[in-house]
């Protein structure tokens, strides 16, 4: 089993995933602290009824088939006949994020992996989920179409291969490095610099 959050880390940066899940390293910066604040109200298990929906907070998730475990910030369940005893007609995972939509598809893939777990746990098809952005206090729907499902399965396979082989990806300076909590540990700038010339290499003064 590896955590659902590892999918997000891998798509953000494979080396970040390696540092966290092979080396066991953790980091903290303003982004992780803001993320913790965004989850304060959904990290406590519980449920409530609202407008015909059952809202489950911090629901544990798993998939034996894919080897995934974790928890959903929120799962919304709608029952066909109403009430707590009716058959489930629709189920949707909701993920809380501190900032706006990213350029990368890591949040969408993490949410899709949650849908895989719910499908296995409940024996139902999960077609749509949502991402709630705390900065704007708005949520947007994510459709679990076939391209996203394929991308998520491929990421799970690649992540499992990374963890099983233990081969650390090389450091590479990328736009997302600046906001990474492991930036000071990874030091991608060092790998991008041209090595110093050998001081003892003969120099041709005729050139």
Strand bridging mode 88-97 / 128-133: parallel
pLDDT at site 31: 46
Arithmetic mean of pLDDT, 180-194: 77
- Domain locations in the chain as residue ranges: 2-192
Residue 138 has pLDDT above 80, yes or no: yes
How many Å apart are CA 103 and CA 117, to the nearest integer?
Answer: 25
Residue 136 has pLDDT above 70, yes or no: yes
Task: Find all residues with CB under 8 Å of 47, minimum gap 6, and list them.
Answer: 54, 55, 56, 57
pLDDT at site 163: 92
- For the chain, the distance separating the N- and C-terminal CA atoms, rounded to the nearest angstrom, is 61
For tokens 């076939």, what's the residue?
146
Phi and psi for 116 in degrees, rounded to 5? -60, -45
Residue 13 has pLDDT above 50, yes or no: yes
Range in 25-34, 92-101, 148-157, 175-184 the model is least confident about: 25-34
Q: What pLDDT digit, counting tens, does each position of 48-107 carry?
A: 888 889 999 999 999 999 999 999 999 999 988 755 667 889 999 999 988 777 676 799
* Mean pLDDT value across the chain: 84
Fold of 2-192: Lambda Exonuclease; Chain A (3.90.320)
Q: Which residues pair with 132 in a beta bridge?
A: 96, 139
Q: Which residues pair with 70 in a beta bridge?
A: 61
Q: With residue 101 as reference, give the H or E element that holds it.
A: none
Per-residue exposure over 88-108, b if at least 16 CB sit within 10 Å of its own CB, e if not: eeebbbbbbbbeeebeebbbb
Residue 161 has pLDDT above 50, yes or no: yes
pLDDT at site 126: 97
Q: With residue 108 as reference, give the H or E element that holds it.
A: helix 106-122
Contact between 1 and 68 under an 8 Å Cβ cutoff? The reply is yes
Q: Grade residue 137 by pLDDT with cuts at 50, 70 and 90.
A: confident
Arithmetic mean of pLDDT, 136-156: 95
CA dist 133 → 53, 74, 87, 95, 99 (Å): 21, 13, 30, 9, 6
């Amino acid at each position: 089993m590896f955590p659902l959050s590892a999918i997000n880390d891998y798509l953000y940066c494979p080396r970040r995933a390696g540092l966290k899940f092979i080396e066991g390293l953790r980091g903290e910066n303003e982004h992780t602290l803001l993320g913790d604040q965004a989850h304060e109200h959904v990290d406590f298990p519980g449920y409530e009824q609202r407008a015909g929906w059952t809202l489950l907070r911090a629901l544990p998730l798993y998939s034996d088939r894919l080897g995934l475990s974790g928890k959903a910030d929120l799962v919304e369940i709608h029952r066909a006949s109403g009430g707590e005893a009716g058959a489930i007609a629709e189920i949707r995972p909701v993920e809380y994020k501190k900032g706006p939509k990213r350029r990368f598809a890591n949040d969408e893939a993490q949410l899709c992996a949650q849908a895989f777990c719910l499908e296995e746990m409940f024996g139902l098809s999960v077609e749509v989920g949502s991402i709630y952005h705390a900065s704007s206090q708005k949520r947007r729907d994510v459709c679990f179409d076939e391209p996203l499902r394929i991308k998520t399965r491929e990421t799970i396979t690649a992540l499992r291969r990374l963890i099983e082989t233990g081969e650390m990806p090389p450091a590479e300076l990328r736009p997302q490095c600046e906001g990474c909590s492991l930036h000071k540990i990874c030091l991608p700038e060092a790998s991008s610099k041209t090595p110093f010339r050998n001081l003892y290499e003969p120099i041709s003064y005729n050139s």
